[in-house]
Amino acid sequence: MAARLPLDLDPPVRQLRALLLGVDDRDLTAPTPCPGWSVATLLDHLISLAEAFTRAARKGADTAGGGAPPQPSAAHLPQHWRSRLPVLLEELATAWQEPAAWRGAARAGGITMPARELGAVAANELVMHGWDLARATGQDFAADPRVLATLIEFLSAGPPEGTPGLLGPRVPIDPEEEALPRALGLAGRDPAWRPPRIRDVPSARLHREHPPAARSA
């Protein structure tokens, strides 16, 4: 009988891969819930984190060495990100399907911790940045309930002031709220965030999918 894994990263990876299909080139300069990050910067970060957490699952060398990983940059986003990033995300999910990935210690981003905790960090990155991407590009977002339940438990154990470089200070959320807003608040995100250029997400999506006809001269 196959060993039961602590967490399945396949659902958040599938969600992210679907969201990537909805990213238009015009979205790349749009702001995201991550302060100072454009969509292109976020995509560059997703490439780096996918590679880092895949290496961690396989117990490979951490390219960040003893220091922090390089800062994400829109200027570093490769032109072929549309074909590369989905493959990297799939490799990440596959690597964490191995029971050995969850044993012992693992290292990513210059930080070593129990592999089970690092796997939860990976899930948090996938879910939160999936939500970031959806919000920034006017797409719908839904997270797997089992993954959210695990993240809420994991994030609740952290300090309210957050963890520099990983989590921002908690945003107060009504405990009666649904799981996704509670997880977002615990991770330091405001569930009500909207980009300045999109006040009405459904209307923005409709406008993008069905642009008005060109005016005649």
Q: What is the pLDDT of residues 37-69, one digit of tens each?
A: 999 999 999 999 999 999 999 987 665 554 567
pLDDT at 164: 77
Q: Which amino acid is at 147?
A: V
Quick one: how far is CA 180 from the chain centroid? Answer: 13
The pLDDT score that the predictor gives to residue 18 is: 98
Region 72-88: mean pLDDT is 97
| pTM score of the predicted model | 0.86
Provide the pLDDT confidence category of residue 195 given band limits of 50, 70 and 90: confident
Share of the chain above pLDDT 70, in %: 85
Which bin fits 37, alpha (ψ -120 to 50), beta or left (φ > 0)? beta
Q: What is the fold of 10-146? A: Four Helix Bundle (Hemerythrin (Met), subunit A) (1.20.120)
* More confident: 70 or 91: 91
The pLDDT, as a whole number, for residue 190 is 96
Confidence of residue 204 (pLDDT cuts 50, 70, 90): very low
> Cα–Cα distance between 6 and 13 in angstroms, integer?
16
In three-state secondary structure terms, 29 is coil
Supply angle C-alpha 171, 177, 178, rounded to 5. 110
Exposure letters 98-109 (e unless 16+ CB within 10 A, then b): eeebbeeebbbb
Q: pLDDT tens for residues 132-179?
A: 999 999 999 999 999 999 999 999 998 888 887 778 899 999 989 999
Query: Which residues lie below 8 Å from residue 212, measured CB to CB, with a gap of 6+?
Result: none
**Which residues 6+ apart lie within 8 Å of 116 measured at CB?**
6, 102
Domain-wise residue ranges, the chain: 10-146
60's CB contacts (< 8 A; 6+ apart) are none
E-only strand ranges, the chain: 105-108, 111-114
Range with lowest mean pLDDT among 91-100, 122-131, 162-171, 195-204: 195-204
Tell me what the mean pLDDT of segment 12-36 comes to.
Answer: 97
